[in-house]
Amino acid sequence: MLTKKSRIKDVYANPIGRDIIDRVLLQMNISKKAVNNPIIGSLRLKVLPKLLKSQLDEGFVDTLLTLLNTEHETAKGNDEMILKAWWKEAVFYQIYTRSFKDSNGDGIGDLQGIISKLDYIKELGIDAIWLSPIYDSPNDDNGYDIRDYHKIMAEFGTMEDFNQLLTEVHNRDMKLIMDLVVNHTSDEHKWYQKAIQEPNSKYGDYYIFKDQPNNWTSFFSGSAWNYVEERGQYALHLFSKKQIDLNWENETLRQEIHDMIKWWLEKGIDGFRLDVINYISKRSGLPEANESIGKLMEYKGVEHYFYGPRLHEYLHDMKEKVFIPYNAFSVGETPGIGMEMSKLLTADYRKELDMVFSFDHLEMPGRTRFDDYHYDLNYLKSFMINWMENYGEHCQPSLFFENHDNPRMISKINSERQYRNVLGKLLAVIQLTLRGTPFIYQGQELGMINQNFQSIEELRDVESLNLYDELCNTMKKEEAFSKILAGSRDHARTPMQWNNQQYAGFSTGKPWIMMDEDYKICNVETQFQDENSILRFFQNLITLRKEHRVIYYGEVLFINQKEKDLFAYYRKDGTETLYIEINLSSSNKKRTKYPEGIRLLSNYAEDSSSFLRPYEASIWKYN
């Protein structure tokens, strides 16, 4: 058992301890080397607050100990063969239906729109589609607030449309996974309506109510509690006021969720992406949040639910009872979860989840999404090296740079237009040649970039709008708007750019969210005709991936790790060797040695001998 007298190095040797300390260091922008320093390592835990410049108080140490002492498992070693699975070989494509393709001119993407573009997705080389939520919803958070799990959102179509979509996806030999949002439902869900109107019915305990609120805050600004007049109590909502957290402690509720999942699996879908699934177990008694952690993490209360006491139990139970019998795939969205915790959530022999999305590579150390800064690819390199070398053969990494919750990656790194094409391709090389399952977000294959929003009226996302209101209390409107612009999720939610015609071929009517003029130069039609486009590069790279299975299960061997701006690695198995060589900077970089073999694919047409050009990324095959 670890106590306040334990030494920092012993805490760091504990997998959970390592994750938490790494997370804190990341947030504070302190190098991990600090912990490995023997003097610091031998200090006792109780001095940690002082060491961390008093940014964290004693409550942090208590929280850390609680988390450490409730997890008794560590992940097994790495000596075994990787088990094969379809989802370890697949390239996934995420569709945000509202912004993908509109079939009836109302300006809102829909299921028939997706159906009309399945050939495109197939041609790109995609094996599996992840659909963001398409269930009936009042759309406070674009479908992540579900009103009825068994109905399709009217704006998107009908259940017949869905059945047709599933058949057509399967006819093309692709798989379909849905989004499972079960941490919360809409306040318009009938369970919630019953819970507040008939508190003594079985529904009365389906959500988390408290007589007095605690100090937790919502991810979408303000308190995490709504006053519910009907019950004279407060209801917990970690997200918007209309997204109420379900009470997973209630067994009947868990059963109800299992039944709902089975109902979808019976239809023949291939699995689920599980929304904020690591938040489902909250520490009992819902203790007050530690203020210093709240300040550091920007949200209060996270320490009590991001890795809750019954998380493993709930996931294991769901896997055994629901996912395994249907042979269904699962990828959990797990914000705040580090590599060691991810291992415990996904190791194949533990039977909890197949994979997770971890997010620590999307922002630089010391930065958060709403900071305006330039992302340094050297950080991505160090992150990837750590995961590739230490995640182990029992776990499968997910590889992604974009989704519907984040600005476009190219814009974060370098928004100079001259680099857009090479940079989009560079990211593709990293994503498609490391070991792991790539998830491409719609538009990423075109190199879509952040939109040129002009005013707050053009934004739609509840997170952006709430944050704007909050910021306006303390700063000027223009300042608040520019802060929102840096991190708004709406950058990724503007319509997919199909051609250079009006509304980019997305719709014949005015889209639900604005789009700037970028579609005139960046769109599917134009890029298909251009051999040098990012789209064609993605297509070629996906083909290459399928031809070189070493990418699926082969070893990853990094070389010259310490050399800044160079990211170089081999992929090796008994039959072949690939060499990947990337210049992470916008300057020319001298080569230490010229690669052997033949160049299979590159973001520059001709090879240059003595140096790598800006963001040059190439794949070589050795003999």
Contact of residue 405 among ligand ISL, Ca ion, none (CB under 5-8 Å per partner type): ligand ISL
* Nearest residue to 427 via CA among 451, 450, 444: 444
- Is residue 104 within the footprint of Ca ion (CB under 5 A)? yes
Which among 105-113, 220-228, 252-260, 419-427 is the span making contact with Ca ion, rule CB under 5 A?
Answer: 105-113
Is-catalytic flag, 516?
no
The H or E element that residue 16 is part of is helix 15-28
Residue from 19, 110, 402, 581 binding Ca ion (CB under 5 A): 110
Q: Do the bridges between strand 611-612 and strand 589-590 make them parallel or antiparallel, or are there none, so unpaired?
A: antiparallel
- Is residue 102 within the footprint of Ca ion (CB under 5 A)? yes
Q: How far apart are CA 438 and CA 430, in angstroms?
A: 10
Contact of residue 275 among Ca ion, ligand ISL, none (CB under 5-8 Å per partner type): ligand ISL
Contact of residue 48 among ligand ISL, Ca ion, none (CB under 5-8 Å per partner type): none
Residue that the structure tokens 């009217």 belong to = 154
End-to-end CA gap in the chain = 53
Shortest separation between residue 503's beta carbon and Ca ion, angstroms = 12
Contact of residue 402 among ligand ISL, Ca ion, none (CB under 5-8 Å per partner type): none
The H or E element that residue 152 is part of is strand 148-152
Tokens of 145: 């607030």
Nearer to ligand ISL, 51 or 260 (CB): 260
Sign for the CA dihedral angle at 356, 361, 367, 371 comes to: negative
Nearer to ligand ISL, 404 or 420 (CB): 404
Shortest separation between residue 363's beta carbon and Ca ion, angstroms = 34
Is-catalytic flag, 291?
no
Q: Which residues pair with 92 in a beta bridge?
A: 128, 439
Nearer to Ca ion, 161 or 275 (CB): 161
Shortest separation between residue 539's beta carbon and ligand ISL, angstroms = 27
Residue from 10, 57, 89, 106 binding Ca ion (CB under 5 A): 106
10 Å CB burial of residue 599 (0-12, 13-18, 19+) is middle
Chain centroid to Cα 63, Å, comes to 26
Instruction: Give the binding-site size for Ca ion (rule: CB under 5 A).
Output: 5
Residue that the structure tokens 């190219």 belong to = 410
Contact of residue 163 among ligand ISL, Ca ion, none (CB under 5-8 Å per partner type): none
Shortest separation between residue 101's beta carbon and ligand ISL, angstroms = 20
Contact of residue 512 among ligand ISL, Ca ion, none (CB under 5-8 Å per partner type): none
Shortest separation between residue 34's beta carbon and ligand ISL, angstroms = 24
- Is residue 161 within the footprint of Ca ion (CB under 5 A)? no
Angle subtended at Cα 307 by Cα 304 and Cα 310, rounded to the nearest 5 degrees: 95
Sheet order of strands, 566-572 included = 555-559, 566-572, 577-583, 617-622, 598-602
Q: Which residues bind ligand ISL (CB under 6 A)?
A: 141, 144, 181, 219, 239, 275-276, 333, 335, 404-405
One-letter identity of residue 255: Q
Which residues are CB-contacts of 112 (< 8 A; sequence separation ≥ 6)? 103, 104, 157, 161
* Nearest residue to 66 via CA among 308, 350, 334: 308
- Is residue 26 within the footprint of Ca ion (CB under 5 A)? no
Residue that the structure tokens 């520490």 belong to = 283
Contact of residue 352 among Ca ion, ligand ISL, none (CB under 5-8 Å per partner type): none
Contact of residue 144 among Ca ion, ligand ISL, none (CB under 5-8 Å per partner type): ligand ISL
Nearer to Ca ion, 110 or 402 (CB): 110
Angle subtended at Cα 166 by Cα 164 and Cα 168, rounded to the nearest 5 degrees: 65
Q: How far apart are CA 20 and CA 28, in angstroms?
A: 12
**Which string of x and - marks every residue 436-475 that binds Ca ion (by CB under 5 A)?**
----------------------------------------
Nearer to ligand ISL, 175 or 404 (CB): 404
Residues 478-517 that bind Ca ion (CB under 5 A): none
* Nearest residue to 413 via CA among 342, 476, 361, 455: 361
Contact of residue 102 among Ca ion, ligand ISL, none (CB under 5-8 Å per partner type): Ca ion
Among residues 333, 363, 461, 616, the one annotated as catalytic is: 333
Length of the chain: 623
Shortest separation between residue 275's beta carbon and ligand ISL, angstroms = 5
C-beta of residue 545 within 8 angstroms of C-beta of residue 141: no
Q: How far apart are CA 488 and CA 405, in angstroms?
A: 8
Shortest separation between residue 131's beta carbon and ligand ISL, angstroms = 13
Tokens of 534: 């990012």
Q: How far apart are CA 490 and CA 480, in angstroms?
A: 16
Residue that the structure tokens 């031809």 belong to = 547
Q: Which residues pair with 234 in a beta bridge?
A: 210, 227
- Closest CB to Ca ion belongs to which residue? 110
Nearer to ligand ISL, 185 or 583 (CB): 185
Shortest separation between residue 592's beta carbon and ligand ISL, angstroms = 39
Among residues 71, 275, 354, 445, the one annotated as catalytic is: 275
Q: How far apart are CA 448 and CA 306, in angstroms?
A: 32
Shortest separation between residue 461's beta carbon and ligand ISL, angstroms = 8
Nearer to ligand ISL, 23 or 343 (CB): 23
Catalytic residues: 275, 333
Binding residues for Ca ion (CB under 5 A)? 102, 104, 106, 108, 110
